Amino acid sequence: MHEPSDQSQHELQAQLQALRQEHQRVTSSFSYRLGLLLTSAIRSPRRLIRLPLDLWRLWRERRAAMGPGVADPQLVTQIVDQWKSLAQRAREEQTPLVVLFSGTTSVQGTRGNRPIRQTQALLRSGAAVFFSYHRSRTDEGLPEPQHPLLLQSPVDITLRLLETLANTELQGCRKLFVVSYPLPGVERFVELFRRRGWGVVYDCRDDWEEFAKVDMARWFNASVERQLVRSCDATLCVSGPLVCKMQRLAPGSRVVLMPNAVERDYVSADYRRQPIQSGIVGYFGHLSPAWFDWDALKRVAEMRPQLRFEIIGHSEPAGLQLPANIVLLGPKPWQVLHEYAARWSAAMIPFRMGPLADGVDPIKIYEYFALQLPVVSFRMPQIAGYPYTWTVDSPEAFCRALDDACRCEPDAGVLGDFIASNTWEVRAVQLLDWAKTGLE
């Protein structure tokens, strides 16, 4: 194996820093600290006696940290000053300027979900980006600078600054406001941005109603999403089912399909797939039981004992009892995923079937294609027509599809053509097509 380049070492260091920040965020979070209190109370009678007082203190601290208007004034001033500098640079260089209201974590130099990858592609295209991200506490500082054209702001501060952003004079720059999740409150600013000459789109990347049903989007309000679809210039959906749902939600509104993608340079030019003859099927990604179907995968593994199932990722449920041919490899840096995938005969997406999965266009399938892998998935309408993809409705059908996929040798030209039309660089151009100069 060759020595890592300076660039890959830098990327690994950036990812290590991001993991440290995430660890700090988790250990300082309300839910983590609440869990520690409850666990210690169970183990110690003395702590149990103190539990009501400890819970009251923790609740008071959380209320103070998350209450409105408690953000550090110096931090607000710092972001405003940085915004003025970014806007001035955009005016001077006539650079497109995008305000992306993401709801994700901050951009930290690693691969991420759709809003982060959109941002990274926009920056590569030369656009400037104001990126609004979620933080768990209002006393968290700003992330380390990642790019001279990137300004990051936590959502609790962003909501206070949206009027300022909308009213900034940009003198003919192309400007775009992207609402990437329907957080209540953001809908009030759409009309202001439009009046001030901004293009405004709602980027519908998930079925938030279904996520709310599994307790992963408690903030969701259907009327807010409906208002966004009605009032934005367009709603961009990652999948056909989401297009249909948004059209039903606000008939007559402009709703278009804009699927996910993969980076143009996701794998190096010298990557070669060399599957192991005995057959390995792989997966990488999140392992939450909210959508990863562990029971179905166990049935598949039991019916195909000759196959080895390698699972890369985090957040698998505790106490899993798995067949011997399912191997949990833990989380891996994205820079080394190709070393595992090169040995695989096929990749899989064993997500739970249902309305939540029906709205998905998984980023990982584009990454699988970049790695020259055929893919077997449980039902997911958006990907049913993708090349070298089998979508099925049962574990038995999943097994039969794996038999076919493991014998399949994908045509590199077919996959190359598909990827060429579905890179984040292409999506950045398509996204900027919705930007306006304010002079039109």
pLDDT at 69 exceeding the cut of 50: no
Q: Is pLDDT larger for residue 221 or for residue 35? A: 221
Average pLDDT of the residues in 307-324? 96
Asked which of 73-87, 101-115, 284-298, 370-384 is least confident by mean pLDDT, the reply is: 101-115
CA distances to 58, 146, 378, 422 from 123, in Å: 40, 10, 35, 18
Q: In what order do the strands lie in the sheet with 97-101?
A: 150-154, 128-133, 97-101, 175-179, 199-204, 234-237, 255-257
pLDDT at 261 exceeding the cut of 70: yes
Domain with CATH 3.40.50.2000 in the chain: 280-420
pLDDT in tens, 140-190: 899 999 999 999 999 999 999 999 999 999 999 999 999 999 999 999 999
**Cβ neighbours of residue 253 closer than 8 Å, sequence gap 6 or more:** 229, 230, 232, 235, 246, 247
> Does residue 309 come out as left (phi exceeding 0), alpha (psi in the -120 to 50 range) or beta?
beta
Average pLDDT of the residues in 403-427? 98
CA distances to 14, 110, 336 from 2, in Å: 20, 22, 12
Asked which of 8-12, 222-226, 318-322, 332-336 is least confident by mean pLDDT, the reply is: 8-12
pLDDT at 263 exceeding the cut of 50: yes
Q: How far apart are CA 167 and CA 149, in angstroms?
A: 20
Asked which of 43-47, 193-197, 201-205, 350-354 is least confident by mean pLDDT, the reply is: 43-47
Confidence of residue 278 (pLDDT cuts 50, 70, 90): confident
Q: Are the CB atoms for 350 and 378 separated by under 8 Å?
A: yes
pLDDT at position 219 is: 95
Percent of the residues in the chain that have a pLDDT greater than 70, as a whole number: 86
Confidence of residue 33 (pLDDT cuts 50, 70, 90): low
Average pLDDT of the residues in 431-439? 90
Average pLDDT of the residues in 50-54? 73
Q: Is pLDDT larger for residue 208 or for residue 20? A: 208
pLDDT at position 16 is: 55
C-alpha dihedral sign at 126, 129, 134, 138: positive
pLDDT at 53 exceeding the cut of 80: no
Average pLDDT of the residues in 210-234? 96
pLDDT at position 109 is: 74
Confidence of residue 209 (pLDDT cuts 50, 70, 90): very high
Percent of the residues in the chain that have a pLDDT greater than 90, as a whole number: 79
pLDDT at 35 exceeding the cut of 80: no
What's phi and psi for 322, nearest 5 deg? -115, 150
pLDDT at position 67 is: 46
| Architecture label for domain 73-261+424-432 | 3-Layer(aba) Sandwich (3.40)
Amino acid at 240: G
Could you tell me the CATH superfamily of domain 280-420? Answer: Glycogen Phosphorylase B; (3.40.50.2000)
pLDDT at position 123 is: 98
pLDDT in tens, 318-366: 999 999 999 999 999 999 999 999 999 999 999 999 999 999 999 999 9
pLDDT at position 64 is: 43
Average pLDDT of the residues in 254-276? 96
**Cβ neighbours of residue 42 closer than 8 Å, sequence gap 6 or more:** 48
pLDDT in tens, 77-127: 999 999 999 999 999 999 999 999 999 999 987 778 999 999 999 999 999
pTM over 0.75: yes
CA distances to 281, 301, 406 from 347, in Å: 5, 14, 9
Q: Are the CB atoms for 100 and 178 separated by under 8 Å?
A: yes
**Cβ neighbours of residue 265 closer than 8 Å, sequence gap 6 or more:** none
CA distances to 191, 317, 379, 409 from 406, in Å: 52, 28, 19, 8
pLDDT at position 32 is: 61
Average pLDDT of the residues in 392-421? 98
